[in-house]
Structure formats: structure tokens, C-alpha cells
Amino acid sequence: MARPARTSSSPLTRSGSAGRAGRRAVLAILIPDRSLIYGIVLLSGVANLLMLTAPLFMLQVYDRVIPSGSIPTLLTLFGIVAVLYAAQAIVDYCRGRVLSRIGEALDRELADRFFRHDLDKAIGETAASRSPLNELAVVRRFLSGVGPSALLDVPWVPIYLLILASLHWILGLIGLLGGIVVVVLAVLADLVTRTSLRQSADLDSKSQALLASVGRAAEAAKALGMSETLAHRFTSLRRQGVVTEAVSGNAGARLAAVSKGFRMFLQSATLAAGAALAIAQEVSGGTIIAASIILGRALAPVDQIVAHWRSISQARSALSEIAVAFGLRPDRPPPIALAPPRGQLTVEGLAVGPPASRRPFLSGINLDLKPGDGLGVIGPSASGKSTLARALVGISPPLAGEIRLDGALLDQRTSDDLGRYLGYLPQDVELIDGTVRECIARHDPAARDEDVIRAAMAAGAHDMILSLPDGYDNRVGEAGSALSGGQRQRIALARALYRDPVLIVLDEPNANLDQEGDAALTHAIHKARGRGAIVVVITHRPSAMAAVDSILVLKDGVQVGLDKKELILRRVLKLAEDNGADQVASQ
């Protein structure tokens, strides 16, 4: 029984719920247990306590050492200060290393997941979007920088202000008012840079996506005189991104300069107030210097946050993108390991198309193929043939209906597990850069030479590969650019036949083949069927139909015929003859 059509929520709803779920999961990876939280908080507390070394030393020197003239007391205090400064350096280093390790752990846990996320997103998607892998690098660099330490020091600002107030309430009031002004500047930095930073990141992503797209179609762009137009489009996006980034950078720099200048003024104001209080005999001379240092230390974290607000804002935006991507690709437990399939393919009521589309590209497909069957798929352009091919190998999930391999739905296996038993030759052949051997072996480092050679011989490509300058070690180049179209197609066919898959789907497999390649393709299909594999061939050329025994006819995304090859071809020929007679009669 066919499954009901799947419904999809709006992108906003999906991203919102995905973001909430992702944030919880990402935080669990960032901080896997509470002991790490306690450790970071403890290190920050010790670091901030040790920051009091300088003002306390100044206080003792001015209030005790100088009046008493005691050199031994000065040396003792200086020795203690040296030890405390060394301890402060060690604590700061340890805190930085812990934060850096958190970034490394985040990258280690999520890089593989987000690579797969980008791979899934690249299938059938043309709109540029921010890659979570790039966002992951932003967060990792941020955790290794100054920003996290400044954020961890912020909770100590009230404590420093209380210490300042303990010296004198007027000094504490000055510090409080100054802290409020600096915090307001930090909030303004967020408000004036948040939108422009996000826009700049999106524009940069679009320009990089355009550059990659042009790189893939470089020959056509050059031959068709599109260079100037595309260059203008790229530079326009690039210029918009640079201008937007400059706007946020200038605004942030202005606020950082104002914050720094105000903090220096505030320290001078503290010195002046302390001097007035000392003249009035309300505080000691050492208190003047100590108060200035404590105030500087109290406002330093906020000042650093304002100065590094751009990196903090970028990291926050990146973390949000990571959380959404994590939520869209949750960490599900792997499905139960099923036995290797024998090759029974059943398709019932299949409908395939984009999730948000009201009308699927393909609908009403029903197939029942047994081991050794060969099916040809024909139909006019845009009839859904390639869509069917992508659905049969699990690339395009069904909107309705089901595809079962040995009774199991395709998504009941992981994509890597399913791929071991599938052979797929897409219509647009692009080989991943590497040697011919690596391409045929699907870049499996554990591949055996005999399996690679057997696949190449099954595809009739062994002699052609040996004729290359470096044979199986010959590099194919980016997207197979070092090979001709026919060579790429034959190597891709060998890749599809690698490890004797039970289901082989070939989309226009002879589009770039000569007569010799056509004969090798027919022989490969016969041989695969002879060992019990199901072979589905999508083609416009009759020569590829020589090795199949039944044909599926598609028109406007609907199955209009399925029968033995001879009967279907007879109907097609009769229809062609009738159309020809009608055209003669009309003339």
C-alpha cells in the first residue's frame, strides 16, 4: 500500500525548531560535562583574583614600604608578586588551552556531520547559503582568541567595583557610572553591527558560490562571451559585501575608540578624585594608584568586548547557523544492520519532487523487478527519467509511495551502507580529483587492486586505462578535466560496477561513447544481469536498449507504458509511422 504524501512545514518553522534542538545538542558538545564548566569558572576566578596583585602591591609599597623605608619588606613583597605573576601566566595559559581544546572538540565532533550536510544540500540546490563547515571554523578561531576570556571576565566586573567602593564610596560611584557608560557602548556596538555583519556574510557566501559555479562552466562562459557579464556580477556581489563589511567595521571601530578614550578619561578622573580625597585626608596615597588600577581592570573586559565585538558577533551568528544545521541533521542512532540485498526491487505509487512543490516531477510509478532483470526507461525530455534514476538510488526521497530493495525501504539503510550495493552513473559525469584507481574504487583507501581491475574490465575500460600515460595511477583532474568525455563516462561506468552491485542505474550511459564504447556498455549490462543484478538504463539512443528485456515509457512525469521491449518498440515505431503519415496527408 502506498504511503500518504509527505507534508513539509515552512522553512521558518523548521529552522526555528531545528535551531532550538541544535543549540541544546551543540552546547552538549561544547560542554560535555559539568566538571568542564566548573574548571573554566575556577580558572577564570583564580585569574581574576590574581589580577589584584598589581593594585595590592602598589597599595603596600606606597602605604607601608615608603613610609617605613624597609628594604627587606620591599624585597619580600616583590618576591611574592613575582610568584603571583608567574601563577597568573600559568592560569591564563591553562584557560586558553581549555577553550582551544573545546574548539578542537567541536570541530572533531561536527566536521564529518556538516560535510555530509553540505553534500546533501548540494544535490539539486542552486541557491547560495552559508556552509556550516565555514561557520565551524569561525567558532573554532573565536574560541582560540581573546573574546571568550573577556566574556568570562565580565561577571567579575561587579566584584571589582565593590572592591573599589570599599576603598571609598565616591571611587565606587565613579566606577559604577563609568561601567554603565561602557556597557551602553557595548550594546550600541551590537545594535549597529549585527545586521550588516550578517548581510556581509551572506553576500560573501553568494559571491563564493557564483565563483564555484562559474568555475564548473568556465569553458562555456569563455566561448560564449560571458566573461565580462559574469565578472561584473561577481565584482558587484563582492563590492556589496566589502561595503557592508566596511560599514559595520567603521561603526565598531568608532565605538571601540570612544570606549577606549572614555576608559582612559575615567582612570584619570579616578586619579583626580583620589587625589582630592587624599588631600582631604580620607584615603591614603597608595589608594590613589590602587583605585586607578582596579578601575582599569574592572572595565577592561567590557572594553575588550567592544574592541572585539565583530569577532564575537560573527561567532554568535556562526553558532546559530551551526545550531540550525545540527537540528536539521539530528544525531540519530544508526539503523539496524540489514543483510546484503539480493536484488528484488519494488516501486509502488512513487511520487518525487521538491518538498515544497505542489506538483511532483514524477508520479504514479509502479515497478516490480527481479534479480537479472533489465529495464529501459524512455520518454521525451523533461518526462522525469533522471528524477526516477535519482529516486531509485536514494538521492531524491519520495513525496509519496515507496521504493523497497528486498522488502526494505531505502532509508532503512544508511546512505553509505546502501551505496555498497548500488551502481549509479549520473547523466552529468563529474569525477572527483584523484587517480583513475581511486575514482573507480570510490576513493576507498581499503580497496583491493583486483576489485578495481575487475570493475574496469567489466566496463570494457581496462585497455583504455592502460593506454593512459600513467595507467591506473593517471590523475583525472578536477571534475575529470584531464580526460575526454568518453573516457570519463567509461571510468564512471567502471565505478558504478565496482564490487558487483545488485542494483545498477545508468542515466544516459552512452551519451559520449563511440561504437566501441557502445559495444562495451552492452556487454557490461549483459554480464551484470548474468550474475543476477538489476540494471535500469535511461537513454535516448536505441543501442543502449540491446541489453534490456523490458521498457518503461514516461511522459510528463507519468508512467504511460511498461511492457516487453519488443512490444514497446513496436508501438513506438507504429506511432512514429502514423505521425509521419499524418504529416504527409496534411501537406
> Within its chain, how far is the Cα of 373 from the centroid?
40
In a domain, 172, yes or no: yes
Q: What residues have CB less than 8 Å from 47, skipping those under 6 apart? A: 88, 91, 92, 95, 153
CA 537 – CA 508 distance, rounded (Å): 7
- Between these two residues, 491 and 214, which has the higher pLDDT value? 491
pLDDT band at 478 (very low <50, low <70, confident <90, very high): confident
- Residues 354, 399 contacting (CB under 8 angstroms): no
Could you tell me the three cell numbers for 353?
519532487
Q: Is residue 64 part of a domain?
A: yes
For 161-181, how does the pLDDT look when each residue is reduced to its tens digit (9 = 90+)?
888 888 888 888 888 888 888
Share of the chain above pLDDT 70, in %: 80
In angstroms, the CA 58 to CA 284 distance is 12
Q: Which distant-in-sequence residues (6+ apart) come within 8 Å of 167 by Cβ?
A: 283, 287, 290, 291, 294
Q: pLDDT grade, residue 142 (50/70/90)? A: confident
Q: Check pLDDT > 70 for residue 224.
A: no
**Parallel/antiparallel/unpaired status of strands 534-538 and 374-378:** parallel
Q: Given this model, what pLDDT does residue 126 score? A: 43
Q: How confident is the model at residue 8 (pLDDT cuts 50, 70, 90)?
A: very low
User: Among 52-61, 132-141, 449-458, which is the least confidently predicted range?
Assistant: 132-141
Per-residue model confidence (pLDDT) at position 131 = 67
**Tell me, what's the pLDDT at 120?**
63
Residues 296 and 362 in one domain: no
- Residue 299 sits in the same domain as residue 353: no
Name the domain boundary from 264, 298, 328. 328
pLDDT value of position 466: 93
- Give the side-chain half-sphere CA count within 13 A for 7: 2
CA distance 308 to 255: 11
Q: At what angle do helices 53-60 and 285-307 cross, to 10 degrees?
A: 160
Provide the domain limits for residue 516: 345-586
Do 444 and 559 fall within a single domain?
A: yes
Average pLDDT over the chain, rounded to whole? 79
Q: Are residues 366 and 260 in the same domain?
A: no
User: Amino acid identity, residue 260?
Assistant: K
Distance of CA 464 to the CA centre of its chain: 38
Give the pLDDT confidence score for residue 122 in this predicted structure: 60
Are 145 and 285 members of one domain?
A: yes
Q: Give the chain's domain count.
A: 2
pLDDT for 498 equals 92
What long-range pairs does 55-62 form, CB within 8 A, spacing at least 24?
55/289, 55/290, 55/291, 55/293, 55/294, 55/297, 56/290, 57/81, 58/286, 58/289, 58/290, 58/293, 59/284, 59/286, 59/287, 59/289, 59/290, 60/286, 61/286, 62/284, 62/285, 62/286, 62/289
Residues 179 and 245 reside in one and the same domain: yes
- The predicted pLDDT at position 328 comes to 53
Average pLDDT over residues 460-466: 91
Whether pTM exceeds 0.85: no
Mean of pLDDT values over 431-456? 90
352 and 279 share a domain?
Answer: no
**CB of 234 within 8 A of CB of 210?**
yes
Of 32-36, 167-171, 214-218, the range with the highest mean pLDDT is 167-171
Q: How confident is the model at residue 242 (pLDDT cuts 50, 70, 90)?
A: confident
* Whether 373 contacts 549, CB under 8 Å: yes
Answer yes or no: is 335 within a domain: no
Task: Write out the three cell numbers for 572.
Answer: 513506438
196 domain residue, yes or no: yes
User: Do 139 and 188 share a domain, yes or no?
Assistant: yes
Tell me what the mean pLDDT of segment 438-449 comes to. 90
Which helix (H) or strand (E) is 409 found in, with range? strand 408-409
Please say whether the beta carbons of 211 and 128 come within 8 A: no
pLDDT band at 25 (very low <50, low <70, confident <90, very high): low
Query: Distance between CA 247 and CA 266 in Å, rounded?
Result: 28
Residue 579 has pLDDT above 70, yes or no: no
Domain end marker among 328, 354, 383: 328
DSSP letter string, 511-575: TT--HHHHHHHHHHHHHHHHTT-EEEEE-SSGGGGGG-SEEEEEETTEEEEEEEHHHHHHHHHHH
DSSP strand pairing (558-564 vs 374-378): unpaired
Mean per-residue pLDDT, 453-478: 90
Res. 27 pLDDT band, cuts 50 70 90 = low
Q: How confident is the model at residue 14 (pLDDT cuts 50, 70, 90)?
A: very low
The verdict on residue 337 lying in a domain is no
214 neighbors 151 (Cβ within 8 angstroms): no
238 vs 353: CA distance, rounded Å: 34
Q: pLDDT tier at 19 (50, 70, 90 boundaries)?
A: very low
pLDDT digits (tens, 9 = 90+) for 418-436: 888 999 998 888 788 889 9
Looking at residues 548-555, what average pLDDT do you find? 89
18, 328 in Cβ contact below 8 A? Answer: yes
> Domain of 501: which CATH number?
3.40.50.300
As a whole number, mean pLDDT of residues 233-238 equals: 79
